[in-house]
């Protein structure tokens, strides 16, 4: 019982760390966008975690872990889909549920993951999407699409039976959000002024890079819970090696992105450095428990290069991603998932092609699902704010307030 309690406490600590990551996402997105849209960014992030937990409790958790499957998706007993149903009356630490933690701990830890997919989309569509349209998309995506994909692997579905491996969600969390972000920005269009008439990309600087930097450090800290908790116990060896590989990949990703971006653009770009750290974290997440320290550094180095080249590719495709979400979460998520078949304990041709198949299946499903959700919204209530509203800022027109009221509104010069 003492060991079981230790495992359960560790899982709860990790749950708190993953919750803390939502502050990191908020600060990163706010810092990399303009002042006039800061309230809008924060509102979306607060909405995502609140709605995400409620939806995961009502639908997502039982859809993701139904116990038995029809085609890996639909629970045998549909009536048990809704609401939390602990296997023991008091939800106590009982071996009838799990040897390491309670039903309630399991729900809360997994629930913190659920909102992350929609948070990834939030940054990509920043500064021009209608808040109501984003909220409708988020509710549907969190409630159904994320849990269905998760059930295919973590719920014992057909990807798990195939041998597909994703330790903590390079694909099942990050790419699920990344694919949706790609579809969303394709349908939404670029911000006003992002691309010139000749197609030239123009940088739109974020208004507070120190806040963005703080957000990245909070996310790095939160990843101790994201990956460390995915061990699903307080096992000393597995937990410690997972945290080591996570940190080394993050550091290598940052250094790689800094070097590659400096060689390409002849300046020291902090935002590339920051996204390189995140790319390293996303890249190691699929196989953090399988890699040696040296392999994790290699994964991070490649992820950092993927970030710089991925941001350039998104620009070349005339897509507007203010925070680099597609490069970080989608491209590095794909890389990290494939890396399981190249490095670590499972490396081999068969595993690589299994990983590739999983990436492809999930990619097609998420793209189609995101399109089916977003396109009708665009065709009915619309996706974008009007030109004047976008120009003056979403904070003014959707929220009627300013993030920095003491220093004057986003549209006015400060009054001293």
On the question of pLDDT at 328 being above 50, the answer is yes
- Residue 134's CB is within 10 A of a number of other CB atoms, namely 25
Cross-strand bridge partners of residue 201: 195
3-state secondary structure at position 127: coil
On the question of pLDDT at 361 being above 70, the answer is yes
Query: pLDDT digits over 226-261, tens only?
Result: 999 999 999 999 999 999 999 999 999 999 999 999
* Residue 336 binned pLDDT confidence (cut-offs 50, 70, 90): very high
Given this model, what pLDDT does residue 75 score? 46
* Separation CA 362–CA 359 (nearest Å): 5
Given this model, what pLDDT does residue 88 score? 65
Given this model, what pLDDT does residue 392 score? 94
Structure tokens at 402: 């300013």
Which DSSP category does 203 fall into? -
Is 337:175 a contact under the CB 8 Å cutoff? Answer: yes
Which DSSP category does 347 fall into? -
* Residue 199 binned pLDDT confidence (cut-offs 50, 70, 90): confident
On the question of pLDDT at 76 being above 50, the answer is no
Sequence-ordered list of residues with C-beta below 8 angstroms from that of 164, at least 6 positions apart, any chain: 153, 354, 355, 357, 358
Residues 146-158 have a mean pLDDT of 93
285: left (phi over 0), alpha (psi -120 to 50) or beta: alpha
Is 61:115 a contact under the CB 8 Å cutoff? Answer: no
Query: pLDDT digits over 305-317, tens only?
Result: 999 999 999 999 9
* Residue 386 binned pLDDT confidence (cut-offs 50, 70, 90): very high
Q: Identify the sign of the CA torsion 148, 246, 259, 206.
A: positive
* Separation CA 114–CA 247 (nearest Å): 23
Helix extents (H) in 115-235: 116-124, 131-140, 146-153, 158-162, 176-188, 209-228
Tell me how far CA of residue 338 lies from CA of 13, 99, 154, 196, 243, in angstroms: 30, 31, 18, 36, 20
* Separation CA 142–CA 149 (nearest Å): 11
Share of the chain above pLDDT 90, in %: 80
* Residue 337 binned pLDDT confidence (cut-offs 50, 70, 90): very high
* Separation CA 373–CA 140 (nearest Å): 8
Is 88:94 a contact under the CB 8 Å cutoff? Answer: yes
* Residue 89 binned pLDDT confidence (cut-offs 50, 70, 90): low
Residues 274-279 have a mean pLDDT of 98
* Residue 68 binned pLDDT confidence (cut-offs 50, 70, 90): very low
Q: Go through the domains of the chain in sequence order and give each one's CATH number.
A: 2-407 (1.10.3430.10)
State phi, psi for 30 to the nearest 5 degrees. -60, -45
* Separation CA 233–CA 93 (nearest Å): 13
* Residue 393 binned pLDDT confidence (cut-offs 50, 70, 90): very high
Query: pLDDT digits over 214-226, tens only?
Result: 999 999 999 999 9
On the question of pLDDT at 99 being above 90, the answer is no
Residue predicted with more confidence, 53 or 74: 53
Tell me how far CA of residue 72 lies from CA of 76, 150, 161, 314, in angstroms: 10, 10, 10, 34
Residues 176-202 have a mean pLDDT of 94
On the question of pLDDT at 81 being above 70, the answer is no
Residues 348-362 have a mean pLDDT of 97
Given this model, what pLDDT does residue 94 score? 57
* Separation CA 109–CA 96 (nearest Å): 19
Q: Which of 67-71, 73-77, 116-120, 170-174 has the lowest mean pLDDT?
A: 67-71
Q: Identify the sign of the CA torsion 21, 256, 29, 311.
A: negative
Is 122:48 a contact under the CB 8 Å cutoff? Answer: yes
* Separation CA 344–CA 296 (nearest Å): 9
Instruction: Using CB atoms within 10 Å of the CB of residue 118, give its burial: 0 to 12 exposed, 13 to 18 middle, 19+ buried.
Output: buried
Is 243:228 a contact under the CB 8 Å cutoff? Answer: yes
Q: Which helix (H) or strand (E) holds 237?
A: helix 236-265
* Separation CA 243–CA 16 (nearest Å): 16
Cross-strand bridge partners of residue 195: 201
* Separation CA 216–CA 50 (nearest Å): 22
Distance of CA 118 to the CA centre of its chain: 7
Burial 80-104 (b: 16+ CB within 10 A, else e): ebeeeeeeeeebebbeebbebbbbb
Residues 34-38 have a mean pLDDT of 96
On the question of pLDDT at 91 being above 60, the answer is no
């Amino acid at each position: 019982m003492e060991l079981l309690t230790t495992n359960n406490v560790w899982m709860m600590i990790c749950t708190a760390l993953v919750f803390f990551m939502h502050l990191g996402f908020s600060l990163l997105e706010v810092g990399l966008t303009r002042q006039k849209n800061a309230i809008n960014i924060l509102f979306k992030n607060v909405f995502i975690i609140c709605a995400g937990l409620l939806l995961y409790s009502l639908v997502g958790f039982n859809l993701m872990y139904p116990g038995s499957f029809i085609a890996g998706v639909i629970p045998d007993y549909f009536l048990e889909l809704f609401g939390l149903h602990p296997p023991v009356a008091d939800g106590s630490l009982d071996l009838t549920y799990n040897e390491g933690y309670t039903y309630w701990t399991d729900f809360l830890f997994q629930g913190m993951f659920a909102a992350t997919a929609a948070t990834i989309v939030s940054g990509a569509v920043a500064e021009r999407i209608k808040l109501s349209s984003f909220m409708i998309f988020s509710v549907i995506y969190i409630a159904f699409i994320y849990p269905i994909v998760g059930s295919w692997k973590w719920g014992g579905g057909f990807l798990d039976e195939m041998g597909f491996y994703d330790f903590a969600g390079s694909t099942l969390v990050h790419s699920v959000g990344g694919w949706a972000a790609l579809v969303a920005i394709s349908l939404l269009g670029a911000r006003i002024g992002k691309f010139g008439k000749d197609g030239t990309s123009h940088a739109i600087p974020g208004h507070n890079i120190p806040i963005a930097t703080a957000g990245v450090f909070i996310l790095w800290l939160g990843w101790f819970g994201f990956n460390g908790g995915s061990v699903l116990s307080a096992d000393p060896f597995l937990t410690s090696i997972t945290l080591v590989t996570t940190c080394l990949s993050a550091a290598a990703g940052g250094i790689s992105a800094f070097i590659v971006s400096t060689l390409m653009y002849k300046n020291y770009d902090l935002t590339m450095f920051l996204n390189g750290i995140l790319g390293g974290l996303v890249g190691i997440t699929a196989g953090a428990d399988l890699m040696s320290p040296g392999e994790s550094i290699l994964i991070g180095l490649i992820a950092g290069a993927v970030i710089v080249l991925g941001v350039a590719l998104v620009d070349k495709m005339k897509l507007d991603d203010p925070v680099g979400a597609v490069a970080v979460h989608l491209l590095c998520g794909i890389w990290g998932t494939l890396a399981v078949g190249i490095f670590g304990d499972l490396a081999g041709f068969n595993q690589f092609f299994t990983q590739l198949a999983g990436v492809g299946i999930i990619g097609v499903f998420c793209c189609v699902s995101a399109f089916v959700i977003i396109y009708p919204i665009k065709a009915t209530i619309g996706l974008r704010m009007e030109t004047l509203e976008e120009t003056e800022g979403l904070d003014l027109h959707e929220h009627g307030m300013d993030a920095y009221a003491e220093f004057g509104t986003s549209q006015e010069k400060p009054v001293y």
